[in-house]
Structure 1
Amino acid sequence: MFEKVNPAHPDKIADRIAGALVDLAYKSERNPRIAVEVLIGHGTCHIIAETSVQLSIDDVTAAVHRIAGFLNVDYSEVPQDVHLSRNQSGAIRCGDNGIFKGVPVTAEQKELVSVATDIYNAYPFDGKYIIDNGRVIICQSNAKADHLREIYPAAEINPLGDWTGGTDVDTGATNRKLGSDMADSVTGGGLHGKDLSKADVSVNIYAWLKAQETGKPVQFCCAIGDETVGGIPYEEIVETARAYIKSVGGFEAFAEWGLV
């Protein structure tokens, strides 16, 4: 059983905005410290950013308007906590506590991701897709249901009928669709809106990559300040995650579909 949402889902819009702000921070510093929370809906985007890098309100507003349309932007920026900043002084140390489990992606999950991607390319609007032991449910807004039934005759298409979707119908919040982003993998935190020092980002990515590589679940546990996680230097984990984020096009692009 697996649910996938596309980049136009309100929660993913929130993730993408948070990722865009992290990208802005990385343009200023190689290793910024930033954590962004986004709540969006019904004409307004609320953002709280705890950051070591001051972001231009013009750049923040431009990112929101580019991703979500011309909404009112309520932006609050505060510096990172002094104790958390001190933890990162002088070495690459784990920036959070957590438990993490990477799990190989199944053929069924890959199939649903392919379906979601194909539909989104045709209908770039709010959509959600579910697969459960062969049962496929497609909920795609602003779509021609008859067209989708022709392509996916065995699927259930828009069970509630036509709908418009988006942030005027629903609200979105950062990291609310981790099941869509990680499938069977498990995290004690959130993937989006955070810099690479956060275990929520780097250890999750590292565990997921190792699970795909080995074909077996991979588990880690860490405490804030750790310089190794599971016997692996934390700096190595961070650099592996950095390379992955770069390979997909940055934090905003990563937020579009997550790890799966």
Structure 2
Amino acid sequence: MIEKVNPSHPDKVADRIAGAIVDLAYETEENPKIAVEVLIGHDVCHAIIETSAHIVEEVVKQAIKRIAGEMKTDIVIVPQDVHLSHNQSVEVRCGDNGIFKGMPLTKEQRTLSEIAREIYEEYPTDGKYILDGSRLIICQSNADRTKLEEKYSFAEVNPIGDWTGGTDVDTGATNRKLGSDMADAVTGGGLHGKDLSKADVSLNIHAFLKAQKTGKPVEICCAIGDVMIGGIPYAEIVEEARAFIRSIGGFEKFAEWGLY
């Protein structure tokens, strides 16, 4: 059983805005320290940005407009904690405590991910989808219900009827759809709105990639400040995650669908 939401779901809009802001930090510094929280809905976007990089508020507003459209903004930009920034200034060290899990994707999870992307190509509006064995539930806003029922004859399409969706009628928050992003690998820590020094980003990516390669579950525990994790230098894990993010097209693109 698995649920996916598409990039126009309000929670994913928040994730995408947070990702776009992290991308801005990486345009300024090679290894910035940044954490972003976004709450969006009903014509207002609130963003709190803790960062070591210089980020211009007007550029943040432009990113919000590009992703979410015209709306009021409430943006707070503050420096990250000076002590934590100093402690990471000499070498790459793990940026948080945490436990993490990587799980091989199932056929069901891969199938739903493909279906969600297929539907989104035709209907790039708020949508969420559940697959439980042979039962597919499609909740797609602003859609031609009959057309979807014809294409996915085994699916339940908009069981409660037509709906509008989007941030005008709902709210979104960063890292609220981790099940959609991580499948069975959800433990602690969110994927989005953070730099690569954060274990929530790099160790989740590392565990996911290792699980896909080995076909076996992966469990990792780390402490803030670790330079080695499971016999691997944390710096190598960060570079692996950097390569993964680059292959997708950046943190904003990563936020669209998560790990799969």
Cα deviation, residue 172, structure 1? 0.1
Secondary structure of 1:211 counterpart: helix
Aligned position for 2:217: 217
Provide the rounded CA distance (Å) in 1 between the counterparts of 2:116 and 2:255: 15
Q: In the TM superposition, what whole-angstrom CA distance separates every residue of 1:142-172 from its partner, at most 9, and x where no partner exists?
A: 0000000000011000011000100011100
Provide the rounded CA distance (Å) in 2 between the counterparts of 1:82 and 1:240: 27
Aligned position for 1:15: 15
Amino acid at match of 1:194: K
Matches for 1:201-216 after TM superposition, within 5 Å: 201-216=201-216
Amino acid at match of 2:88: Q
Secondary structure of 2:112 counterpart: helix
Q: In the TM superposition, what whole-angstrom CA distance separates every residue of 1:187-240 from its partner, at most 9, and x where no partner exists?
A: 310100000000000000000000000000111100100001111100000000
Provide the rounded CA distance (Å) in 1 between the counterparts of 2:215 and 2:39: 36
Instruction: Report the TM-score, using the length of structure 1 for normalisation.
Output: 0.99
Aligned position for 1:128: 128
Secondary structure of 1:128 counterpart: strand
Provide the rounded CA distance (Å) in 1 between the counterparts of 2:46 and 2:81: 21
Provide the rounded CA distance (Å) in 2 between the counterparts of 1:92 and 1:186: 25
Whether contact under 8 Å (1:87, 1:95) holds in the other structure is no
Secondary structure of 2:73 counterpart: strand
Provide the rounded CA distance (Å) in 2 between the counterparts of 1:175 and 1:186: 11
Amino acid at match of 2:128: K
Cα deviation, residue 86, structure 1? 2.1
Amino acid at match of 2:146: D
Provide the rounded CA distance (Å) in 1 between the counterparts of 2:23 and 2:98: 24
Number of matched pairs: 260
Matches for 1:109-258 after TM superposition, within 5 Å: 109-258=109-258
Secondary structure of 1:36 counterpart: strand
Instruction: Report the TM-score, using the length of structure 2 for normalisation.
Output: 0.99
Aligned position for 1:5: 5
Q: Runs of 5+ in structure 1 lacking a partner?
A: none
Whether contact under 8 Å (2:28, 2:54) holds in the other structure is no
Same amino acid, percent of matched pairs: 70
Secondary structure of 2:184 counterpart: coil
Secondary structure of 1:139 counterpart: strand
Whether contact under 8 Å (1:4, 1:112) holds in the other structure is yes
